[in-house]
Amino acid sequence: MTIALNSTPAARSRWIAAAPLSNRGITEMIAGPVFRGAGKRWWIAVLLTLPFVLWTLVALIWLLTQGIGAWGVNTTIVWGFAIANYVWWIAIGSGGTLISSILVLTRQNWRTSVNRFAESMTLFAVAISGIFPIIHLGRPAYFYWMAPYPNTMSIWPQWRSALVWDFWAILSYLIFSIVFLYVGLLPDLATMRDRATRRSAQVLYGVFALGWRGSVRHWRLYKRLHVTLAAIAVPLVTSVHSIVGLDFAASLMPGWQESIFPPYFVIGALFSGFAMVLLLTALVRWGLQLEAIITIAHFDAMAKIILTGSILMTYSYATEWFLAWYGGEHADRSLIAFMFTGHYAALYWALLFCNCLLPQALWFPAIRRNVPALFAIVLLILVGMWLERILIIWNTLSHDYMPTLWRVFRTTFWDWSFLFGPLGVFAFCFLLFIRLVPAVSIYETRRLAYEEGLE
Amino acid sequence: MSQMSAPAGSKTLAPGCFTRREALGLLAAQMAISLGACSKPVEEIVPYVEMPEQLVPGVPLKYATALPLAGYGRGVIVSSVDGRPIKIEGNPRHPASRGSTDAFAEAEILSLYDPDRSKAVLHAGEIASWEAFEQALLPVRQRAQDRNGAGLWLVTGRITSPTLARQVDAFCKTYPQARWCAHEPTDIAAEREGAVLAFGREVSTRPQLDRAAIILSLDADPLGPGPEQIRNGRDYALHRLPNNGFVSRMYAIASAPSLTAAKADHRIALHPDLIAEAAIAVANGLGAGLRRPNLPEHADRFVQAAITDMKSERGRAIVLPGPSLSAETYALVHWINHELGASVEYFEPIDGLPDHTAGTLTDLARDLDGGKVDTLFLIGVNPAFDAPADLELAERIRRAKFSVHASGYADETAQISAWHLPLSHTLESWSDIRATDASASIVQPLIQPLYATRTMHEVIALFATGTRARSYDILRETWRASGGADFDGWWMRALHDGVIADTSAGKLTNLQPQLPRIADAKTVSQAPHLAIVLQPDPCIFDGRFSNNAWLQELPKPLTKQVWGNALALGSDEAHKRNLGEGDVVKIEANGRTIEAPVVITKGHADGVASLTLGYGRKSAGMIGTGVGTNGFALRQSDSPWLIRDAQVTRTGRSEEILKAQNIVGRPEDVDTLFPIVAAQKVSDGKNPPLQTGADLPSLLPTRPLPDDGHAWAMVIDSAACIGCNACVIACQAENNVPVVGPEEIRQGRQMHWLRIDVYHHGTAGEADLGFQPVPCMHCEEAPCEPVCPVAASVHDSEGLNVQVYNRCIGTRFCEANCPYKVRRFNFFGYADGQEYANLGLESYKAQKNPEVTVRARGVMEKCTYCVQRISGARRAAERENRPIGADEVTTACQDACPTRAITFGDLHRSDALVNRLKRDPRHYALLGHLGTRPRTTYLAEIRNRDSDLDKEPS
């Protein structure tokens, strides 16, 4: 019954490495894993990630009962992993959005193979990132005071604070991510409804398919909505990351108060987001055996974007250094010297290696087309980007205007728990997701196959 | 307070001693009792309908009393709210306080509520009763009487209390052959002996720094911790400010860092033996004609410069000797001061009994060895911990047949004594005490004893007469003659003023000091041996404040270490010995060994290290036990302040030195943050104006500030600040600032609202330090305000930057964005259920200032400019229908400051002192270039350097 699709190197298309390919074949290949059952790899992955989920739960309970003193934050370095993790996760999220939206708008059709799980990645990453600003609070129970709601205190949020902007940015981004993902899913949910054999699945997919029948009118409206959402996504992602940048830039601290921060954070988001997408693409392609529709050319294209991101990041770093020197402010210059030679210097050099030097390997097509090498590079980029976020916090707060209170951050077990635990939670959610909905957009792949003339 | 009293003498019943019937009966009886608890007591009780006279609920009452330190009194005024004393301030009428306090006085209020205080009589470590002790004492007294007191020893601390002196005198008369000894761990024996050498008699000396233009300190620390710190600090600061006639110049020759050496205009570090040589050089410079001093060239140049200065300021120059020097050198300094006509006053010593020669601990140790001690009374002392180690009193006291220890704590000595009697805290006692100038004060209690304790006077009365007397009566008996006809009127006046008029000692004049015989120069022992200078600790003094959490967490002025002490070394010395900060070393001297971590500081002489006393307590309480290293364990009775030949070896282990902050030493940082001006330039009006930030250009229009008629501001004078830490503890006491504990300090957390930044602005070797107290700046353009998402950090209409605790959700953005880093976050519930050690116990809650919120976990807090005091002044002014006075509101730190370095006031009042200070040429704003427009501003540190010494040696 199953139609085996093996990738054939002789295929004519860049983006689909199998021929001949029928609509039925594509549907079967993508929807198959959902209906057929999980397979050993999936179960192993679930068993690997489940302990992380439990670990995160324990860490959350500990944190909420003991207070944020459980972390390594101190009187001078009042922020720590929570803020760095927040920035890192929300940046991961934007990778997904950017792939979907920018590539939709620029009609890069190859995105169809990867956009589904990129969008779901966004959703989970944004959801996880949204937890951090709440649990990072000294009194998390009152996080809703950042929202303007009628209350007996007759008091609203303090609108000049970048954290209030942040609150809105995360909230709108989360809502948008859900809507964007869901809209993209509609035709496929209908496909699933139609192919489901069990009543429960039919009802479930049917409800979420919102009565999609695939009429021309549906398609016309759908297309319009999808492009509109994509058009909204680009400024949204840009603003979200600009605001994340403003969390730091709208301050007085050396190393934070820099006008380059908003665009620099957008670039950083794009950079780490694409790295994460590439990482997941490699894993999903291997795990669900989608070599036929996710080709080396996809990796090649994404690697080029990552290379561009790396160059822009390097430029941003250099701007920071230059302006500290050019501005002549003692605190700024002292901070740059501290970054290169101070307590966290090893991490800073590692950051520069991961984000600036290593990605230069992507100039070489052989490396861009070598999946294991790419996998290693993007993994290190993700590490480098996390280091960048934590060092933005650590360096500035460890070495600000008051040398008398300069001190260093001492990590605790619970800091690491909130770094590694959520990675497992993310993977766990992602695994559940690909068991419930098609990991690759069925209808878009079919269209791509058609356009590539493979049918 | 009744629930706090300990169940002293309650008998515990052995289990299994009831029959079933008895048990049921008891159960029924207990139920009947608990039902009865719901009804009124049998005795007549009076409802609180009409207020007792004077007492208005919630309004603090203030009482004058005095607190002892090393046996000398400092007059204080204690605020009491609804019967709970909560805050200690200086008594302006008292000569040793002059309205200010020191860190120890401020912290006494916490010790009062210490739950580890001794609460019950102990017999062989078991809880007993006062009655049981009185029973046990009967045969002992009888025996002593029969033997005329032979074999009876009484050990007390330094006695300046006229009542205690009278009682001990009577005790010695009752038991003529009894021996008495005063043991004070911080006593300087060389000072007494030096006076005897110079004058042929005991004389007590007090420098008058308010009249000194040139001060030469020979390892002395007049500004350091001790009973004279407040007076010396005030006098010293008087002539550090340019508008008081002249600016003094201080030369310091110090073996180890001290507050005095830190503030000196010129300093060199020399081995104590070489400092003695320097004294000879000074004497020769004044024509003593002694042998040639054996001084290195640079030291000689230094001394010559000082001599030249002193000669030109005869009558206004003074030389101060320190505890590491010998009696001969003290005597020589008496001669020098006499030659200089120095501003020193001499008094009859006040801390002895004129008719009795005091024994020494050495005598006691010998008697104990010879089995000659039948009965040993130890009152208010802890020799098992703080006596010189070579006396081994901790072992020898056990040899006394009957030993009684009376103290506020069941300490190390209590553990080895047969009986331990709990003494009341000073704030619970009637007593009297003299200041260093002999001015007497009545000590009056602020509260009924919290536990079943008695005062020292009551205990001695019990020993001497076997009767229970009340210390109130004993005390009034002492003073009855002085009071004259209207004794009660006199008594009321004495209690009210806190100091008894005309009790200061008469000055001794026409003393002719002899030149002492000077021994040949000692050869300074070379490496590998190290001389260790012992110092009283600036935080816990001699160990008596070990169990005070405020003082344990108080950053030491020169190292910023908290929760412990360490062997302090210079970096060269450490390098030579291949030691790094935190390396634990074994220190061996005179056959005894201790281990201590190393801390590296500037200002030590070659071959000299220093160690503060008072740490390493074995039985201090939950807070103080086991913290730090015991310096007393190396102390020799013949050389109590200097260990000559110590051997220091690495153990290979290392431990972290807990520090609350850093000493700032990078020249570029110091230049930005801590300007220093030359005294001459200020006097001549040639000093260029410093950065205040008021003249920064801006593209924005000036933002109108809300204004309700007051603009509070503070000016802190770095030239006057001696880094004594009184303000830090005062702030902690006033504002319910919690203690976080050593683990939290290790994590980099602290709660002090006011910190004292230390700037090192000398050369590599010279520890030229300046102090800068940093409270909240109350910036007009506060960076913390726009970043708070919930408007918890806001400006009020009087210019205060206020923190609304119950609005704060704890984003900590305000502290991240504070360039001064003055905000403090409750990472845990430091005062809210997650207190360190026993600090959450009920008794401590009584100390809390009811006008200040106790902050919860997860909220940010910071200096409020003591907003509760502003509010109190406003209420008082409104009641009286008048404006708030120009300098009416004072902050807690300001009140505490011995040198009056802190001034607070209203910028809208042209007659306010802050306005005058803000026009001073030394005025600057910290980080003024950031445009924060701080309301707390500074006056720059002054250095009055000698131009000759600043020249390179040719």
pLDDT tens figures, B796-809 = 999 999 999 999 99
Helices (H) and strands (E) in chain B, counts: 30, 38
Q: Of residues B47 and A406, which shows the higher confidence score?
A: A406
Task: Report the gap between the CA of B755 and the closest CA in chain A (Å).
Answer: 10
Q: What ipTM score was computed for the predicted complex, to two decimals?
A: 0.92
Q: Mean pLDDT for chain B?
A: 90
**Could B857 and A138 be called an inter-chain contact, meaning their C-beta atoms sit closer than 8 Å?**
yes
Q: Find the range with the poorest average confidence among B505-519, B887-901, B930-944.
A: B505-519
Cα B579 to Cα B556: distance, rounded to the nearest angstrom: 22
Q: Find the range with the poorest average confidence among A102-106, B164-168, B280-284, B508-512.
A: A102-106
Give the residue among B765, B758, B942 at the shortest CA–CA distance from B302.
B765
Give the residue among B379, B478, B558 at the shortest CA–CA distance from B163.
B478
Domain spanning B121-182+353-497 has what CATH number?
3.40.50.740
pLDDT at site B501:
87
B858 touching A, CB under 8 A? yes
Best to test chain A binding among B787, B788, B859, B926 (most A CBs inside 10 Å): B787
Cα B692 to Cα B685: distance, rounded to the nearest angstrom: 18
* Eight-class DSSP state of A354: I
Tokens of A116: 């589904």
Task: Report the gap between the CA of B789 and the closest CA in chain A (Å).
Answer: 5
Q: What b/e readout covers A236-248, taking b as 16+ CB neighbours within 10 angstroms?
A: bbbbbbbbbbbbb
pLDDT digits (tens, 9 = 90+) for B100-109: 999 999 999 9
Cα B106 to Cα B124: distance, rounded to the nearest angstrom: 34
Interface of A with B in 135-154 (CB under 8 A): 136-140, 142-143, 145-146, 153
**Could B927 and A405 be called an inter-chain contact, meaning their C-beta atoms sit closer than 8 Å?**
no
Tokens of A325: 């020197």
pLDDT at site B1:
39
What top-level class would CATH report for the domain B204-347?
alpha beta
pLDDT digits (tens, 9 = 90+) for B40-58: 556 666 666 666 666 777 7
**Could B811 and A136 be called an inter-chain contact, meaning their C-beta atoms sit closer than 8 Å?**
yes
A407 touching B, CB under 8 A? yes
pLDDT at site A98:
82
Please give the radius of gyration of chain B, using alpha carbons only, rounded to the nearest integer. Answer: 29
% of chain A residues with pLDDT over 70: 95
A77 touching B, CB under 8 A? yes
Q: Helix, strand, or coil here: B261? A: helix
Task: Report the gap between the CA of B178 and the closest CA in chain A (Å).
Answer: 56
Residues 6+ apart with CB under 8 A from B52: none
Say if residue B298's pLDDT is above 50. yes
**Residue in chain A lying closest to B759 (CA):** A404
pLDDT at site B5:
42
Average pLDDT of span B384-396: 93
CA atoms within 13 A on the CB side of B463: 32
Residue pair B330/B283 in contact (Cβ under 8 Å)? The answer is no
B825 touching A, CB under 8 A? yes
Say if residue B526's pLDDT is above 80. no
CA B854 to chain centre: 26
pLDDT at site A332:
93
Say if residue B210's pLDDT is above 50. yes
Q: Mean pLDDT for chain A?
A: 89
Reported confidence tier of residue A390, pLDDT bands at 50, 70, 90: very high
Residues 6+ apart with CB under 8 A from A194: none
Q: Of residues B324 and B696, which shows the higher confidence score?
A: B324
DSSP E strands in B389-476: the ranges are 402-407, 419-422, 431-434, 440-443
Chain B residues in contact with A409 (beta carbon < 8 A): 748
CA B318 to chain centre: 25
Strand order in the sheet with B204-207: B204-207, B344-347, B507-508
Q: Give this prediction's pTM.
A: 0.91
Task: Report the gap between the CA of B661 and the closest CA in chain A (Å).
Answer: 5
Average pLDDT of span B137-153: 93
Residue B32 has phi, psi (to 5 degrees) of -65, -40
Interface of B with A in 626-665 (CB under 8 A): 661-664
Residue pair A183/A100 in contact (Cβ under 8 Å)? The answer is no
* Eight-class DSSP state of A166: H
**Residue in chain A lying closest to B671 (CA):** A330
Chain A residues in contact with B832 (beta carbon < 8 A): none
Residues A23-451: name the CATH superfamily.
Formate dehydrogenase/DMSO reductase domain (1.20.1630.10)
pLDDT at site B216:
96
Say if residue B607's pLDDT is above 60. yes
pLDDT at site A419:
96
**Residue in chain A lying closest to B861 (CA):** A75
**Could A77 and B748 be called an inter-chain contact, meaning their C-beta atoms sit closer than 8 Å?**
yes
Domain spanning B663-693+706-943 has what CATH number?
3.30.70.20
pLDDT at site B520:
80
**Could A251 and B783 be called an inter-chain contact, meaning their C-beta atoms sit closer than 8 Å?**
yes
Average pLDDT of span B297-323: 93
Question: Nearest CB to B790: which of A69, A145, A334?
Answer: A145
Q: Helix, strand, or coil here: A307? A: helix
pLDDT at site B17:
64
A400 touching B, CB under 8 A? yes
Q: What b/e readout covers A184-212, taking b as 16+ CB neighbours within 10 angstroms?
A: bbbbbbbbbbbbbeeeebeebbbebbeeb
Sign (positive or negative) of CA dihedral A38, A44, A47, A51: negative
Chain A residues in contact with B787 (beta carbon < 8 A): 160-163, 250-251
Question: Where in the sequence of chain B do the CATH 3.40.50.740 domains occur?
Answer: 121-182+353-497
Hey, what amino acid is at B162?
A: P
Residue pair B870/B798 in contact (Cβ under 8 Å)? The answer is yes
Residues 6+ apart with CB under 8 A from B572: B606, B765
Residue pair B587/B567 in contact (Cβ under 8 Å)? The answer is yes
Interface of B with A in 673-732 (CB under 8 A): 673
Residue B630 has phi, psi (to 5 degrees) of -85, 105
CA angle B604–B608–B611, rounded 5-degree value: 85
Contact pairs from chain A to chain B, CB under 8 Å: 162
Would you call B947 exposed, middle or buried from its count of C-beta atoms within 10 A (0-12, 13-18, 19+)?
exposed
Task: Report the gap between the CA of B429 and the closest CA in chain A (Å).
Answer: 40
Q: Tell me the residue length of chain A.
A: 455
Average pLDDT of span B863-882: 95
Chain A residues in contact with B856 (beta carbon < 8 A): 139
**Could B662 and A406 be called an inter-chain contact, meaning their C-beta atoms sit closer than 8 Å?**
yes
pLDDT digits (tens, 9 = 90+) for B7-36: 444 444 455 566 778 778 877 777 766 655
Interface of B with A in 793-822 (CB under 8 A): 807-813, 815-817, 819-821
Q: Helix, strand, or coil here: B411? A: coil
Q: Is the peptide bond before B742 cis (omega within 30 degrees of 0)?
A: no
Residue pair B664/B673 in contact (Cβ under 8 Å)? The answer is yes
Reported confidence tier of residue B516, pLDDT bands at 50, 70, 90: confident
Cα B143 to Cα B752: distance, rounded to the nearest angstrom: 55
Cα B707 to Cα A326: distance, rounded to the nearest angstrom: 40
* DSSP run (H or E) holding B224: none
Reported confidence tier of residue B647, pLDDT bands at 50, 70, 90: very high
Q: Reply yes or no on domain B529-654 having CATH 3.40.50.300.
A: no
B553 touching A, CB under 8 A? no
Give the residue among B262, B265, B266, B209 at the shortest CA–CA distance from B238.
B209
CA atoms within 13 A on the CB side of B137: 24
Would you call B857 exposed, middle or buried from its count of C-beta atoms within 10 A (0-12, 13-18, 19+)?
buried
Residue pair A96/A409 in contact (Cβ under 8 Å)? The answer is no
% of chain B residues with pLDDT over 70: 94
Best to test chain A binding among B562, B703, B747 (most A CBs inside 10 Å): B747
**Could A253 and B816 be called an inter-chain contact, meaning their C-beta atoms sit closer than 8 Å?**
yes
pLDDT digits (tens, 9 = 90+) for B712-761: 999 999 999 999 999 999 999 999 999 999 999 999 999 999 999 999 98
Question: Where in the sequence of chain B do the CATH 2.40.40.20 domains occur?
Answer: 529-654
Cα A64 to Cα A51: distance, rounded to the nearest angstrom: 20
Residue pair A305/A311 in contact (Cβ under 8 Å)? The answer is no
Interface of A with B in 248-277 (CB under 8 A): 250-253
pLDDT at site B135:
94
Average pLDDT of span B683-694: 82
Q: Tell me the residue length of chain B.
A: 954
% of chain B residues with pLDDT over 90: 77
Average pLDDT of span B888-910: 95
Residue B268 has phi, psi (to 5 degrees) of -135, 155
Please give the radius of gyration of chain A, using alpha carbons only, rounded to the nearest integer. Answer: 23
Q: What b/e readout covers B225-258, taking b as 16+ CB neighbours within 10 angstroms?
A: bbbbbbbbbbbbbbbbbbeeeebbbbbbbbbbbb
A62 touching B, CB under 8 A? no
Cα B68 to Cα B433: distance, rounded to the nearest angstrom: 7
Tokens of B412: 């190390």
Reported confidence tier of residue A2, pLDDT bands at 50, 70, 90: very low
Residue whose structure tokens are 């504002």: B735
Interface of B with A in 915-934 (CB under 8 A): 927, 930, 932
Residue pair B181/B198 in contact (Cβ under 8 Å)? The answer is no
Distances in Å between the alpha carbon of B633 and those of B389, B547, B591, B627, B637? 5, 19, 11, 14, 11
Residue pair A271/A311 in contact (Cβ under 8 Å)? The answer is no
